[in-house]
C-alpha cells in the first residue's frame, strides 16, 4: 500500500509516500500519545494534595477520573468518525487547546463540581482523540508494516506513563498542586499542538475521493460503516473488547490494594504497577512485529492466552517475587493487546471508515472498563476478598480468546467495499 510506493494525485503532482512521510506521522503520534497519556496518568499524583486542601474523599476524587473515561470513550467514537472525514490535524489541534484549557481551569478549582466538569469536559475530550485519531491515521499510512508502526506509536503511551507522573510529583512538592496544573497546561497543549501540525492523511486516501462530491463520499462511508458494524465479525470484536477492558482496567485499579492485603508493602505494590507500565512497552513493540507476520487476530489470541496465564498465576501468588513475575507476564500481554486492536479493525474492514469502527470499539470497551473496577470494589466490600473477582476475570478473558477464534470464521460482507 503506502509504505512501498510514491503516490500521484489526480492532478499529476507527486506526493509523499508512506516510505518518506509515514515515519513522520508515526513520530508525531508517538509524541502525542506520550504527552496526553502521561498527563492523564499523573492524575492520581494529585489525590493527597486535593484531600489535604479540601478534605475530599478518594472516592470523590477518583470519580472525576471515571467520568472523564466515559467522556473519552464517547468522544473517541465521534472523533474517529470525524477523522475519516477531515483528517487528524484539525482534530488534534483542537484537542491540544482543550488539554491546556482544561488543566488551566483545574488550577482554579474550589468545589467538587469544578473538578468533575473541567476534568471530564476538557481533559476527557482531549483524551478521546489521542488513541483513535493517531492510530487510525497510522493504519492508513501503512499496510505491510502497520503492526510495527502501531507498536512504536503505542510505546509513547508507556513512555508517558513512566516519565510524566514523577515530574508532576516533583512540581507538586516544589510549587504546589495549583502551579503543577498550570505547568501541565503550559507544556502539554503546546507539545500536542506542534505535533498535530505534522499529522497528515495519506495522499492515496485523498486521491481516491478527488472525483467524488461530499455527498457521495458521505453516502459511501455511511454504507461501508453500517455494513461493517452489522457484520458478525464486528460483533465478536466488540465482545472481546468488552471482556478484556472489564478485566484489564479492574486489575490496574485493584492490584495495589490486592497486594497490600497480602502483607506486601505499599512501595513494593506500587512497584508492581510501575513494572507493568514499563514492561508493556516491550509487549507493544513485540506485538507490532508479530502482527506483521501472522496478523492481528492471531496476535490477540496469543495476548489473551498470556493474560489468562497471568491471572491464573496471580491466584497462587503470595510473595513479592511471584507478584513481579505476574507483572512481567501481564505487562507484555497488556501492551500487546492495546497495540493489536487498531490493526485488527484494519485487517478485517480496511481503512476507509477505520476511525468510525475503531472509535466505536474503544467506546464499548470504555463502558466496560468503567464498570469493572466498581464491581470489583463492591464484591470486595461485601465478602472481603478479591478471589471471586479474579476468577470472573479469567472467565472473561477465556471468552475474549474464544471470540477471536469465532472471528476467524467470518468474512465481513462489506470488506471488499470498505478496504482502501
376/62: higher pLDDT: 376
Round the CA-based radius of gyration of the chain to a whole number and report it: 21
CA atoms of 133 and 29, how far apart (whole Å): 9
End-to-end alpha carbon distance in the chain: 9
Phi and psi, residue 15, nearest 5°:
-120, 170
Q: How far is CA 377 from CA 152, 251, 289, 318, in A?
A: 34, 11, 37, 21
The values of phi and psi at residue 14, to 5°, are -75, 135
Q: Which position has the grid cell 505535533?
A: 195
Instruction: Quickly list DSSP for 275-337.
Output: HHHHHHHHHHHHHHHHHHHH-HHHHHHHHHHHHHHHHHHHHT--SHHHHHHHHHHHHHHHHHH
Classified as helix, coil or strand, 145 is: coil
User: What confidence tens digit (pLDDT) does each residue in 129-153 have?
Assistant: 888 899 999 988 887 788 889 999 9
Domain 18-204 = CATH 1.20.1250.20 = yes
Element (H, E) at 59: helix 58-86
Q: Quick: pLDDT tens for 260-304.
A: 788 877 677 777 877 888 898 899 999 999 998 988 999 999 999
Instruction: Give the model confidence (pLDDT) of 34-84 as tens digits.
Output: 999 888 878 877 877 888 899 887 668 777 877 888 888 888 888 988 988
Residue 290 cell numbers, joined: 508479530
pTM here is 0.78
**Distance of alpha carbon 326 from the chain centroid:** 22
- The C-alpha cell that represents 22 in the structure block: 509515514
Identical topology for domains 18-204 and 217-418: yes
Domain 217-418 has CATH 1.20.1250.20: yes
Q: How confident is the model at residue 418 (pLDDT cuts 50, 70, 90)?
A: very low
Q: What is the pLDDT of residues 323-373, one digit of tens each?
A: 899 999 999 999 999 899 989 998 888 888 888 898 889 888 888 887 888
Give ∠ CA 400-43-182 in degrees, rounded to 5: 140
Q: What is the pLDDT of residues 200-227, one digit of tens each?
A: 988 765 545 555 555 545 555 667 777 8
Map out the domains of the chain as residue ranges. Answer: 18-204, 217-418
DSSP annotation of 16:
-
Per-residue model confidence (pLDDT) at position 212: 55
Give the number of other CB atoms < 10 A from CB of residue 274: 15
**CB half-sphere exposure, 140, CA atoms < 13 A:** 28
The pLDDT, as a whole number, for residue 336 is 93
Q: Which residue has the higher pLDDT, 125 or 7?
A: 125
**Nearest to 368, CA basis, from 244, 272, 276, 264:** 244
Strand runs labelled E in 144-273:
none
Amino acid at each position: 500500500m503506502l509504505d512501498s510506493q510514491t503516490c500521484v494525485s489526480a492532478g499529476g503532482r507527486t506526493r509523499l509516500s508512506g516510505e518518506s512521510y509515514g515515519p513522520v506521522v508515526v513520530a508525531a503520534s508517538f509524541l502525542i500519545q506520550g504527552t496526553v497519556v502521561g498527563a492523564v496518568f499523573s492524575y492520581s499524583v494529585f489525590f493527597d494534595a486535593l484531600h489535604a486542601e479540601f478534605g475530599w474523599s478518594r472516592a470523590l476524587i477518583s470519580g472525576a477520573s471515571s467520568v472523564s473515561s466515559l467522556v473519552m470513550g464517547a468522544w473517541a467514537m465521534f472523533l474517529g468518525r470525524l477523522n475519516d472525514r477531515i483528517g487528524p490535524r484539525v482534530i488534534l489541534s483542537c484537542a491540544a487547546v482543550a488539554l491546556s484549557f482544561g488543566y488551566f481551569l483545574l488550577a482554579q478549582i474550589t468545589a467538587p463540581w469544578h473538578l468533575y466538569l473541567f476534568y471530564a469536559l476538557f481533559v476527557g475530550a482531549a483524551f478521546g482523540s489521542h488513541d483513535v485519531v493517531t492510530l487510525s491515521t497510522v493504519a492508513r499510512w501503512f499496510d505491510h508494516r502497520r503492526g510495527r508502526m502501531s507498536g512504536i506509536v503505542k510505546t509513547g503511551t508507556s513512555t508517558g506513563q513512566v516519565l510524566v507522573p514523577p515530574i508532576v510529583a516533583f512540581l507538586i512538592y516544589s510549587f504546589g498542586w495549583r502551579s503543577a496544573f498550570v505547568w501541565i497546561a503550559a507544556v502539554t497543549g503546546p507539545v500536542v499542538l506542534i505535533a498535530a501540525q505534522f499529522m497528515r492523511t495519506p495522499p492515496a486516501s485523498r486521491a481516491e475521493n478527488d472525483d467524488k462530491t461530499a455527498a457521495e463520499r458521505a453516502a459511501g462511508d455511511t454504507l461501508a460503516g453500517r455494513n461493517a458494524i452489522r457484520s458478525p465479525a464486528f460483533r465478536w470484536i466488540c465482545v472481546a473488547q468488552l471482556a478484556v477492558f472489564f478485566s484489564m482496567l479492574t486489575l490496574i485499579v485493584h492490584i495495589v490494594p490486592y497486594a497490600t492485603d497480602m502483607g506486601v508493602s505499599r512501595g513494593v505494590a506500587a512497584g508492581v504497577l510501575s513494572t507493568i507500565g514499563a514492561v508493556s512497552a516491550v509487549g507493544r513493540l513485540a506485538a507490532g512485529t508479530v502482527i506483521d507476520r501472522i496478523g492481528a487476530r492471531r496476535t490477540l489470541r496469543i495476548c489473551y492466552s498470556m493474560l489468562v496465564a497471568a491471572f491464573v498465576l496471580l491466584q497462587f501468588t503470595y510473595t513479592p517475587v511471584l507478584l513481579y513475575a505476574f507483572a512481567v507476564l501481564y505487562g507484555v500481554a497488556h501492551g500487546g493487546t492495546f497495540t493489536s486492536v487498531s490493526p485488527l479493525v484494519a485487517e478485517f474492514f480496511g481503512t476507509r471508515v477505520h476511525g468510525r469502527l475503531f472509535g466505536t470499539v474503544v467506546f464499548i470497551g470504555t463502558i466496560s472498563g468503567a464498570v469493572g473496577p466498581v464491581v470489583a470494589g463492591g464484591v470486595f466490600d461485601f465478602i472481603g476478598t478479591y478471589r471471586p473477582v479474579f476468577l470472573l476475570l479469567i472467565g472473561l478473558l477465556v471468552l475474549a480468546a474464544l471470540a477471536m477464534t469465532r472471528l476467524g470464521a467470518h468474512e465481513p460482507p462489506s470488506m471488499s467495499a470498505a478496504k482502501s
